[in-house]
Amino acid sequence: MPTALITGATAGIGAAFARRIAKDGLDLVLVARNVEKLNEKAETLRRDYGVSVEVLPADLAEDDGIAAVEERLRQGVDLLVNNAGFGNQGTFLEVPVEAELRMLKVHCEAVLRLTYAALPGMRERHRGGIINVASVAAFLTRGTYGASKAWVVSFSQSIAHEVKDPNVKVMALCPGFVHTEFHERAKMDTSGIPEVLWLDADDVAEAALKDLKKGVRVSVPSPQYKAVVGLSKFVPRNLVGKVSSRTGRRYD
């Protein structure tokens, strides 16, 4: 039975991917830190969709956590969704360097290592897909978070080019503001964000899977964010930095 492994699978975009993929009948491996939430999510998916769901508790900010997921991926999966991620509260010098390094561990090192673990089996079987969840922030100037997501985009594009197998696809997913727990966990005040800029997590997952199937290498769901990314290429970088540093960066 085809199997998908999803990191950060208990909430937000990760949970939306789990629901959408289960609807297609794929078995699931759910990865997150919270065992209780993992078991609750797994039971709901089994009941609602009749699929097999394996839970894998792991903290991707720790070597042991990454290694556990690497081991599972080497056993073979058909789809990997590298979704785990978080934001830090404050601007660069306000955030402890340990917290920034933890972010890079999850956003960059874990994505690299898990892709490295999954890809050989996919190439051998001549089928498979990897979705690395980045952000529209990758195209703006937004501190360590934006820089880490820019790395995800560049890395994904490079790997997609190097695979050279039309049945093995690698894609970076770049949503904008999505109704999830992400901003609340980071203690962001998002009250000033216009409603038109908010996306639904289920819509993001749906669009991403469609784009992956079509072979898109960088998926930007929704017309409004396609416009944002397009315009960002023509706006002077110093102006982009000033605007993006003020947007969504207010904290409680």
Annotated active-site residue 145? The verdict is yes
Q: Say what the alpha-carbon torsion angle 135, 139, 144, 145 is, to the nearest 10 degrees.
A: -10
Q: From the CB of residue 159, how many other CB atoms can be counted at a distance below 10 Å? A: 20
Count the residues in the chain: 252
20-to-16, 61, 203 alpha-carbon distances in Å = 6, 26, 10
Q: How many whole angstroms separate alpha carbon 137 and alpha carbon 134? A: 8
Specify the amino acid at residue 40. Answer: E
DSSP 8-state symbol, 195: G
Provide CB contacts within 8 A for 211, sequence distance 6+: 171, 173, 219, 221
Say how many CA atoms lie within 13 Å of 2 toward its Cβ.
Answer: 15
- Of 49, 116, 145, 225, the active-site residue reads 145
Structure tokens at 86: 């978080």
Asked if 130 contacts 82 with a C-beta cutoff of 8 angstroms, the reply is yes
Q: At which residue do the structure tokens 């058909």 appear?
A: 78
* CA–CA separation, 139 and 123 (whole Å): 30
In whole angstroms, what is the distance from residue 17 CA to residue 129 CA? Answer: 13
Report the catalytic residues: 145
